[in-house]
Amino acid sequence: MKKKMIGLLFSVFFGTNLYAQEQQGIREKADLLYNKYEYAKAVVLYEKIAKKDADLTVMQNLANSYLKMKRYDEAGKWYGQVIDDRKRTIADLLAYARVLKLNGKYKEAKGAFNAYEVASGKSAKIERAGCDSALKWLASPTTHILQNEKILNSSLSNYSVTIIKDSVYFVAEPEEKYTDKYGWTGNSYSRIFAAAKKDGMISAPGIAAASFNKGTLHIGPFCADKNGNTLFVTKTNSGSEALLQRQSSEKFHSKVLEIYIYSKDAYGSWKGTPFKYNNVKAWSVGHPALSPDENILYFVSDMPGGLGGTDVWYTVKGRDGSWSDPQNCGPNINTEGNELFPVMKENGTLFFSSDTRAGMGGLDIFSSTGSANKWSEAQNLKYPINSSADDFSFVEISNKTGSTGYLSSNRAGGIGADDIYSFSYTTPVKIILAVKGTVMNKKYKSSVSDASITLYSENKKIADKKSSNVKGGFYFELNKDSKYALKARKPGFLPDSLSFTTNEIKVSDTLEFTMNLDPLEKGKTIQLDNIFYDLGKDNIRSDAALILNGLELLMRENPKLKIELSSHTDSRGKDAYNLSLSQRRAQSAVNYLISRGIAKERMIAKGYGETKLINKCGNTATCTEEEHQKNRRTEFTILSN
């Protein structure tokens, strides 16, 4: 019995020790693979370890491996467990927030970015702005229609379309034939594929059988001149490890990238020469793009002197065919992060992807116009061109009604890791709205030039301001679904104003109005509408002050204008009282204008009581309140001008 017990204890101890040694061996192998960036193999071992002992480091490495492999669902699962661990790091909080964003969980991502800011004291303003923009763009997408190009795509990665005449070229991971695997993804090394395109139909693609497509590691992306006789091909150098690892995108590989320039001879054979600025000991160069005139070559590099991780650079072709020293494209293109996959459109627009500007996901596609190092501020192409995942290699071809093209993305719902999508876009019919008119002398029916015409938008904000031309004409462009007011004024005239709206206007239209300016002539009497007083009071109310401010402006525009400012009552009440009240009210109005800086010598206050009724509503008449109201008025009469 005693021997049995000893044997059992030995067996348990030995088995436990053997299991521990086995686990330790798996862990060491997994860590070795992870540190060599062979994430596809590392996750298999880490998953095995995690079933028995998922400590923080294992969970962190699993989460980061899946993130590098662009498997965002699995990355989110493991980062969710990482942040539940009390020993998590600040970097874990930031990575978790970014993975939430990559999975399109923008509201949760904003909360996670806030938690990161609190914990780290660092700003995540741009990341949060990207979440806000994404929610806005999802609610109001552009009219681009995307379609997965299934004939080009496979279960692996397919990306970076280049159009050469009637052929569609792209970069892809072959599903068969190649036995060597890329440790980062576990898939074959990429090659350049080609497919014929005729009448809008694309044939089944195959690996391009040409010398530019030969190599042991990744090949592509590339660009070509218009004739397809010169190619600029990205190749991964097989002999050197990169000094700096570009881990933010597996497209900028951990090996050193180079550009090779291939020229086709008269017999159709390709001859390749290395790009002058390849430097496998110091930096990578890749992702080439030619300017429309083919005299500037743009490319991506992490060479010294850049603004961030990988920047877009350019070099200019000399008369002798040589390329000038590379120059950085500047801050309107590049950031402290990574800019990748530049593509030039025929009109000079540069499309590229960035992982640092405010956007929807990991890599967002942006556009800018310009050349060399002078570019407009980069614009996000929004949803559905961009998604919560990685979007890149945007190729656009304009046509009469809009544009078509291709982009690459690893968004949810695709066939493989990266898929090629075609798109079509119809340019919306632009609705042009405007208002035009003529300023006229109301009395003499003649046009008035040099009148000041002001267009006000809602909330009385000045939208535009012009002077009428020699024929009294004016013209303003308008926005849809907006409210406006026009005001015309000129010294020597009473101003004129009107209001209108562009609501419900669905087609291009030009509204037309006539603005009538009444000359300020001696003896003319003008009623000031909407000047009200409290019952039996003579103080100036705030609503009356607004009307008197308009009279003040008229007095300033016409410095020689002198007026009699009069007040009138209705017939109700005693005559003497009405006369006294109206005089006090007229004087209050004059005093208000004096307080605003108008000389008192230019104004006379006169109260007329009920002596100048403008209708039949005398003492014995029966009238409505509306009829009495017409007699309760404030006027000014021009004495001289």
pLDDT digits (tens, 9 = 90+) for 555-568: 999 999 999 999 99
Which of 346, 370, 395 is where one domain is finished?
395
The predicted structure's pLDDT at residue 241:
45
- Mean pLDDT, residues 220-244: 81
> What's the pLDDT band for 183 if we cut at 50, 70, 90?
confident
614 vs 393, higher pLDDT: 393
Minimum mean pLDDT range among 205-214, 233-242, 435-444, 616-625: 233-242
Residue 177: count of CB within 10 angstroms of its CB: 8
Same domain, 532 and 585: yes
Residue 334 lies in a domain: yes
CATH number where 290 lies: 2.115.10
The predicted structure's pLDDT at residue 256:
86
Residue 146 lies in a domain: no
Cis before 221 (ω within 30): yes
Average pLDDT score, the chain? 90
Contacts of the segment 585-592: beta carbons below 8 A, 24+ positions apart: 585/533, 585/538, 585/634, 586/634, 587/538, 588/538, 588/539, 588/540, 589/531, 589/540, 589/544, 589/548, 589/565, 589/634, 590/565, 592/540, 592/545, 592/548
The predicted structure's pLDDT at residue 384:
97
Which DSSP category does 279 fall into? B
Residue 462 lies in a domain: yes
CATH number where 104 lies: 1.25.40.10
> What's the pLDDT band for 239 if we cut at 50, 70, 90?
low
Please count the structural domains in the chain. Answer: 4
The predicted structure's pLDDT at residue 617:
92
Same domain, 128 and 189: no
| The pLDDT of residue 14 is above 70 | no
Which DSSP category does 432 fall into? P
Residue 309 lies in a domain: yes
- Mean pLDDT, residues 451-480: 94
Residue 426 lies in a domain: no
| The pLDDT of residue 507 is above 70 | yes
The predicted structure's pLDDT at residue 21:
57
Burial of residue 470 (CB within 10 Å: 0-12, 13-18, 19+) is exposed
Beta strand 230-241 with 255-264 is: antiparallel
**Whether pTM exceeds 0.75:** no
- Mean pLDDT, residues 609-630: 89
Which of 395, 424, 447 is where one domain is finished?
395
Residue 415 lies in a domain: no
Same domain, 302 and 246: yes
Sorted by sequence, the CB contacts under 8 Å of residue 218 that are 6+ apart come out as 182, 189, 190, 234, 235, 236, 253, 255
Same domain, 342 and 461: no
Query: For the segment 198-220, what is each residue's pLDDT rounded down to a tens digit?
Result: 888 899 999 998 889 998 889 99
**How far is residue 641 CA from its own chain's centroid?**
56
Same domain, 462 and 584: no
Same domain, 485 and 534: no
Same domain, 258 and 291: yes
Which of 106, 139, 172 is where one domain is finished?
139
CATH number where 609 lies: 3.30.1330.60
Query: For the segment 267-306, what is each residue's pLDDT rounded down to a tens digit?
Result: 889 999 999 999 988 999 999 999 999 999 999 999 999 9
Quote the domain boundaries for residue 467.
433-519
| The pLDDT of residue 252 is above 50 | no
Same domain, 464 and 598: no
Residue 421 lies in a domain: no
Same domain, 377 and 237: yes
Same domain, 129 and 194: no
Burial of residue 77 (CB within 10 Å: 0-12, 13-18, 19+) is middle
- Mean pLDDT, residues 516-536: 85
Angle between helices 2-35 and 39-53 (to 10 degrees): 150
- Mean pLDDT, residues 34-55: 89
The predicted structure's pLDDT at residue 626:
87
Same domain, 272 and 377: yes
The predicted structure's pLDDT at residue 178:
57
Same domain, 53 and 185: no
Residue 403 lies in a domain: no
> What's the pLDDT band for 13 if we cut at 50, 70, 90?
very low
Query: For the segment 330-374, what is each residue's pLDDT rounded down to a tens digit?
Result: 999 999 999 999 999 999 999 999 999 999 999 999 999 999 999
The predicted structure's pLDDT at residue 17:
54
CATH number where 479 lies: 2.60.40.1120
